[in-house]
Amino acid sequence: MTARPKILLTRRWTEEVERYLAERYDVTLNEHDVPMDAAALTQAMHDFDAICPTVSDHLGAPIVGTPGARVKVIGNFGVGFNHIDIEAARKAGITVTNTPDVLTDTTADLAILLMLMATRRAGEGERELRAGRWIGWRPTHLLGQDVSGKTLGLVGFGRIAQATARRAHHGFGMRIAYHSRRRADVGIEGQCGSTYYESLDALVADSDVLSLHCPGGAETHHLINRARLGLMKPTAVLVNTARGPVVDEAALAEALATQQIAAAGLDVYEREPIVHPALLGLENVVLLPHMGSGTLETRTAMGMRVARNIDLFFAGQPVHDKVV
């Protein structure tokens, strides 16, 4: 009887997906659900046929390129794969897949949530109430901003950005502007009346809400830096559901503390799970613990997407969602 392929899930997944994989493979779970260190991940490259990592697992070249590795496929739980050294995987002949499409709407919902929480000072108000500091309604207390009729600027215009644009335009009557490496088709622009900006700096300066939807990596590291924060309106709000390193957190904390910009809403951070300490004491920033795809339905769909690619790989068929 042929031995079943050995698969490692580096974190706990939803019950439905774990059960599906366990019925088909020799699956090892991370029972304690804590990040695995480099030594454990390196050893796993020798012990398993497939590793299924998440964004919290940093698979750099020393790990992916481990000599004599047994792993032949990395099924990434997530769309972004900047935590995996793709060139090292290519050189080692390791297939890497990801999970596009399935988290688009859920993450767009969270971008809108952060926008509303930041503009309406909802986090600040909730903290005040829970701390017993609320003394009752009054006309000028915690005045926020309306979003209707305001300009939503999108940095990047992929699936999630487009879904965010549709919600903002059709739901709140916002004007949509965007900057990306390539201009979208006219038909896509027309779905939400969006305007293309060739200049990122011009988009930053014109936006009432600036929402980030660009990939991670060297090209976008600190794309929103002290200089670009200085271009934003004093009433503007920054939202980041993309990748933490896109924003210079120290510069952002300074801009918020000095009211250079009005507020921010963040779901991702430069050094997760560490958050810049200067942000933690500020009232005008909403901080969420990387919840962008965090619904049972979406996380299950993501896991099943990985599982089906694993099925295809071990059946000797072309996988879907192939990164390399």
Q: What CATH number should be reported for the domain holding residue 241? A: 3.40.50.720
Do the domain assignments include residue 1?
Answer: no
Distance CA(94)–CA(75), nearest Å, equals 10
Percentage, residues of the chain above pLDDT 70 = 100
Chain centre distance of CA 177: 21
C-alpha triplet 10, 108, 227: angle, nearest 5°? 95
pLDDT tens by residue, 292-315: 999 999 999 999 999 999 999 999
Domain identity same for 73 and 141: no
Distance CA(287)–CA(280), nearest Å, equals 8
Domain identity same for 156 and 84: no
Distance CA(77)–CA(292), nearest Å, equals 13
Mean per-residue pLDDT for 255-268?
A: 98
Q: Phi and psi of 10, rounded to 5°?
A: -75, -20
Domain identity same for 116 and 84: no
- Verify cis geometry, omega within 30 degrees of 0, for the bond prior to 273: yes
pLDDT for 1: 56
Do the domain assignments include residue 77?
Answer: yes
Do the domain assignments include residue 79?
Answer: yes
Residues of the domain holding 250: 104-287
- Clarify whether 272 is annotated catalytic: yes
Say which of 16, 128, 272, 283 is annotated catalytic.
Answer: 272
Instruction: Give the ranges where 215-281 is alpha helix by DSSP (H).
Output: 226-231, 249-257, 277-280
Distance CA(198)–CA(2), nearest Å, equals 57
Rounded to two decimals, what is the model's pTM?
Answer: 0.95
Do the domain assignments include residue 66?
Answer: yes
Domain identity same for 233 and 177: yes
Domain identity same for 120 and 220: yes
Among 160, 197, 159, which Cα is nearest to 176's? 197
Q: Which residues contact 29 (CB under 8 A, 6 or more apart)?
A: 9, 12, 18
pLDDT of residue 228 exceeding 70, the answer is yes
b/e code 5-30 from CB counts within 10 Å (16+ = b): bbbbbbbebbeebbebbeeebebebb
Distance CA(141)–CA(124), nearest Å, equals 11
pLDDT for 109: 98
Do the domain assignments include residue 254?
Answer: yes
pLDDT for 104: 96
Here the tokens at position 260 are 């250079």
Among 115, 83, 111, which Cα is nearest to 98's? 83
Sequence-ordered strand ranges (E) for the chain:
6-9, 26-29, 50-52, 73-75, 95-97, 151-155, 175-179, 194-196, 209-212, 237-240, 263-266, 285-287
pLDDT tens by residue, 170-216: 999 999 999 999 999 999 999 999 999 999 999 999 999 999 999 98
pLDDT of residue 250 exceeding 90, the answer is yes
Q: Which residues contact 37 (CB under 8 A, 6 or more apart)?
A: none
Domain identity same for 184 and 275: yes
Would you call 125 exposed, middle or buried from its count of C-beta atoms within 10 A (0-12, 13-18, 19+)?
middle
Domain identity same for 140 and 180: yes
Domain identity same for 179 and 225: yes
Domain identity same for 36 and 66: yes
pLDDT tens by residue, 15-30: 999 999 999 999 999 9
- Clarify whether 141 is annotated catalytic: no
Using DSSP's 3-state secondary structure scheme, residue 171 falls into helix
Q: What is the dihedral of CA 316, 317, 320, 324, to 10 degrees?
A: 50
Do the domain assignments include residue 268?
Answer: yes
205, 176 in Cβ contact below 8 A?
A: no
Domain identity same for 208 and 261: yes
Percentage, residues of the chain above pLDDT 90 = 98
Domain identity same for 76 and 109: no
Do the domain assignments include residue 324?
Answer: no
Using DSSP's 3-state secondary structure scheme, residue 211 falls into strand
Domain identity same for 33 and 118: no
Say which of 243, 276, 299, 305 is annotated catalytic.
Answer: 243
Direct distance between the N- and C-terminal alpha carbons of the chain, in angstroms, rounded to an integer: 31
Do the domain assignments include residue 323?
Answer: no
- Clarify whether 124 is annotated catalytic: no
243, 216 in Cβ contact below 8 A?
A: yes
Categorize the per-residue pLDDT at 2 as very low, low, confident or very high, splitting at 50, 70 and 90: confident
User: How many domains, the chain?
Assistant: 2
